[in-house]
Amino acid sequence: MQKIWNKDLIRILISILLFILALFIKISPYHLILLILSYIIISYEIYWKAFKNIKKKEIFDENFLMILATIGAFFIGSYEEAVMVMLLFEIGEYFSDLAVENSKRSITKLMDLRSDTVNLKTEDKIEVVDIKKVKEKDIFVVKPGEKIPLDGIIIDGKSSVDTSSLTGESIPRTVRKEDQVLSGYVNKDSVLTIKATSVYETSTATRIIEMIENSNDKKTDTEKFITKFAKIYTPVVVLGAILLVIIPVLLGQEFELWFQRSLVFLVTSCPCALVISVPLSYFCGIGKSSQEGILIKGSTVLDQLNSLKTLVFDKTGTITEGVFEVTKITPIKLTEEELLEIAAYSEVYSTHPIAKSIQKKYQKKIDEKKITNYKEISGMGISCTYQNEKILIGNKKLMDQEKIKVKEIDSMGTVIYLSKNKEYQGYIEISDKVKKNSYRLTEELKALGDYHTIILSGDNEQIVKKVAKDVKIDDYYSSLLPIDKVEKIKELKKEGTLLFVGDGINDAPAMKTADIGVAMGGIGSDATIEASNMVLMRDNIVKIAEAIKIAKKTQNKVRFNISFALSVKFVILLLGIFGISTIWMAVFADVGVTFLAILNALLIMRK
């Protein structure tokens, strides 16, 4: 825990010192003066908070209850008890704040991702400029020990980078020319020259920080209930304490006896344990997820994970590696080299893994001026003009739509068909492989509960069927367009809470439709990450099972803290009505229970 020595701790220690002196100095009026000084020092912030809340017309809160209880104690001559109640309350609050700050650390350390300046490279010099002035394609330099300020492509240099702030991976990664790097990485060894692929507002670091800053805006039904409950509960408690004095006195009972019991009632009834521990439990759940490389956009996601019934996966880049290799080139009227060249030029602007595999196979430099009228046809392929000839490249659906006759190829890989001027020219086969983590995910899900797992893919049935069988996924749907995926998700949501995992821009609509959208952060598109509720920063799909475990643990802590706090308070209140509870028991029911609930919530963060 950091920054333990602060003004609150100093204030508590001074108050304790004065209280101890008062216990030893029994001479009047010094004894009373020391107790009053101790009380003023320890309680002035509570009075100030209560005053501010009264100005906002929020009279009844825990501060108001503590003031009422301690003034009452002074009124009946229980000076030591009055000071001690405030002392213990403030000590409890201090440890609560310290615990909250400690639980935030795994999240707020991500705020250090962002840089304020960039070493911008111009024609003749390197100039330090404000990060907000840098545009895409500007060239900047990152020295050893500096954070990479913007996403970009390395154009010169080789170094190792620390990616732990983004991915949680402690082992440095070696990067070299043409590798992509993200803002937030720390350059370890050598100077890197980088071409910016983002601006400040769209950089990975900025987007992550915005997700974290907004995560507390989406509160769960439990948190909303506790807030509303406290607003109604506190005035009811005050009324109950007043009646606890008035009714017995009207019946001829001793005023001082029942006044003291009403003070016990007030202190015991303080809702601190619920108001603090419930939001803290969810915050710890989000913090623990962050430690595991899972960014969760709000505590509502944790509740939804607990009611999860169906998990739906995109195939390429999610269940499979998304690292494709050209395994076969079959021309009809062209040579293999000519077919590959046209395909490579046609796919030059695409970021899809299939396009990258074709460009990698071609290896030659591409003159982009030869490509015009480029258009991506969602879920089908690409249309463009290459050397004044109209090219269509994509799946069989694209060929069927354009009424180009092709023979369907029976292959375990992905088949890309190509036509020139509406005349079929041949096909290219591309293969992908299943991620090792995909096998582990299905094993862990089976251990966690009875979940329905499904693949939705645009690939042909034979490929999708084999992947589903290998990974032991329950069902699959193939040859789907993005709009088909959306409709299928709407249908599947009738089973219960549905989670969808995807990585490409085509997955954004499906992700928005699902109850929980999960983006593969490292390779996922900006649109997908924006549409998601959860981002897996390490692209490790097993982390979905980890998120479910954290959600279950969080829910258990919330339920235990609520039942524990209410049970203890009920027992002490009942004993208080019969005169058995003391003011010290009341303090335990408030401060003690709050502190124990906080410690229980912090167990979520334990490794």
Place of tokens 């609150």: 8
Q: Is 123 exposed, middle or buried (0-12, 13-18, 19+ CB in 10 A)?
A: exposed
DSSP 515: S
Distance (Å, whole) CA 213 – CA 216: 7
Distance (Å, whole) CA 555 – CA 285: 9
Distance (Å, whole) CA 565 – CA 362: 67
Max Cα separation, the chain?
111
- Identify which of 469, 554, 10 has the alpha carbon closest to the alpha carbon of residue 289: 554
Sheet holding 371-377, edge to edge: 325-331, 423-431, 414-420, 389-394, 381-386, 371-377
**Which residues, at least 6 apart from 268, have a Cβ–Cβ distance to it below 8 Å?**
569, 572, 573, 576, 581, 585, 586, 589, 590
Give me the sign of the Cα torsion angle 354, 343, 182, 379. Answer: negative
CB–CB of 339/331 below 8 Å? yes
Note the helical H segments in 418-542: 436-448, 461-471, 482-492, 508-513, 526-531
For the chain, the residue count is 607
CA distances from 403 to 111, 396, 416, 479 (A): 54, 10, 16, 18
Q: Are strands 497-502 and 516-520 parallel, antiparallel or unpaired?
A: parallel
Among residues 138, 314, 539, 590, which one is catalytic? 314
Catalytic-residue membership of 484: no
CB atoms near residue 297 (< 10 Å)? 20
| CA 280 to the chain's CA centroid | 15
Q: Is 301 helix (H, G, I), strand (E, B) or coil?
A: helix
**Which residues, at least 6 apart from 251, have a Cβ–Cβ distance to it below 8 Å?**
none
- The token duo for 179 is 């590798």
Distance (Å, whole) CA 458 – CA 37: 74
- The token duo for 138 is 């500007």
- Identify which of 360, 359, 380 has the alpha carbon closest to the alpha carbon of residue 371: 359
CA distances from 221 to 224, 227, 300, 451 (A): 5, 10, 8, 24
SS3 content of the chain, % helix, strand, coil (to 5): 55, 20, 25
CA distances from 194 to 141, 158, 524 (A): 6, 11, 21
Task: Show which residues are catalytic.
Answer: 314
